[in-house]
Amino acid sequence: MSEGNAEWTARGEQVFIGTYSRFPAAMVRGEGCWLTDADGNRYLDFLAGIAVCSLGHCHPAVTEAVCRQAGELMHVSNLFHTRPQVELAELLVANSFADRVFMANSGAEANEAALKLARIHSGEGRYEVISLSGSFHGRTLATVAATGQPRFHQGFEPLPQGFVHAGFGDPAEVERLVNDRTCAILCEPLQGESGVRPLEPAYLEAIRKICDRHGLLLIFDEVQTGMGRTGTLFAYEQLGVTPDIMTLAKALGNGLPIGAMLTTEKIAASLGVGTHASTFGGNPVAAAAAVAVMREMLAEGFLAGVRERSDYFVSRLQELAGRFPGLTTGVRGRGMLLGLVLTERGIGLGPEIVQRLFARGVLINFAGNRVLRFIPPLIVGREEIDLLIGRLGEVLAEMA
């Protein structure tokens, strides 16, 4: 008899460092918007590996690209060019503001590359980066220092110097923090981890003007908002503000670890041979997966479909919010990065709502101690959205 959830969970608890609060399930198979665990239970996945599997689980084009590349070439290091990596970089450049690309393995590594580039490009004595309260930029020491949430700092002090945090949504405070040491402003166009908080276009435009006025670089962390998540390939496209540097990861490989840092020709010139590197960055197999992802997302109608289904999803969530005013105050977000904002009473029930949905075969999470966050595969259909709304409605009715 094959082992089930209980056995795999028990085995895992014997060998892993306890850095995760895991659901009591071992996932063994995925297809589209659905996952299956070791006991045979099926789950409607509105987490997508935390905004990673945006084409759904085991997308045929990605699976085929991975298997084909794994049979041809797995790794040679960045001492050589590889076809998948070159093709991916070409696609990223052709479809963004950027001229040059650096490949990494994760969002944190892409952000590290951006921070190093900002410092070396700005010159000696200019090393300070302004980021925002509520931000999340990664788990390395530097990206933790850049993250504007004190709970991620606890126990790791002293953090690397050179990071200051401005209040959310206040460009005047950002400008007050600018000094002779400042080299860049770093922000997410939409904060995901702290509770699905969009930065308004007017605010981002003000940040852009501050950067231009003081000769600073504007870095957009699009690790979560990029790759179609907000309804355009990159979130900056719909906001009227273009960054100097942009970072990507998560959905870029649809499950394979890959990140990228994009910038202009002029700024990229500051990183010469030997100034930065990554052994596995842009690995041929991960890059082949990312090429397949890019081609699917750039296909005619794909992003328009994401926006259309997002409008439907928002309307259904708004209906739900109207039915339960004691628990939720409304909806916020963009595209398929949406949050149902909870009332003060609802906040205390957030984790329990997530657990009750899990028991009903639906996966979401509770973000920023404020919202129920929905980040489904971008291929999600109305039928799956209706199923989520129905089961969430049942849970909220139980708790109202």
How would you write the pLDDT of the chain (400 residues) with one tens digit per residue? Answer: 589 999 999 999 999 999 999 999 999 999 999 999 999 999 999 999 999 999 999 999 999 999 999 999 999 999 999 999 999 999 999 999 999 999 999 999 999 999 999 999 999 999 999 999 999 999 999 999 999 999 999 999 999 999 999 999 899 999 999 999 999 999 999 999 999 999 999 999 999 999 999 999 999 999 999 999 999 999 999 999 999 999 999 999 999 999 999 999 999 999 999 999 999 999 999 999 999 999 999 999 999 999 999 999 999 999 999 999 999 999 999 999 999 999 999 999 999 999 999 999 999 999 999 999 999 999 999 999 999 999 999 999 999 8
Q: How far apart are CA 189 and CA 55, in angstroms?
A: 22
Half-sphere CA count of 318, side-chain side, radius 13 A: 8
For residue 235, the model assigns a pLDDT of 98
The domain ranges of the chain are 61-298, 301-332+343-369
330 bridge partner residues = 341
CB 37 within 8 Å of CB 28: yes
DSSP designation for 252: G
Class (C level, CATH) for 61-298: alpha beta
- Angle (deg, nearest 10), helices 344-359 and 382-399: 120
Q: Parallel, antiparallel, or unpaired: how do β-strands 245-248 and 217-221 relate?
A: parallel
What is the pTM for the complete model shown?
0.97
- Residue 174 burial (C-beta neighbours within 10 Å; 0-12, 13-18, 19+): buried
What pLDDT score does 307 carry?
98
Radius of gyration of the chain (CA): 21
Is the backbone peptide bond immediately before 377 cis, with ω within 30 degrees of 0?
no
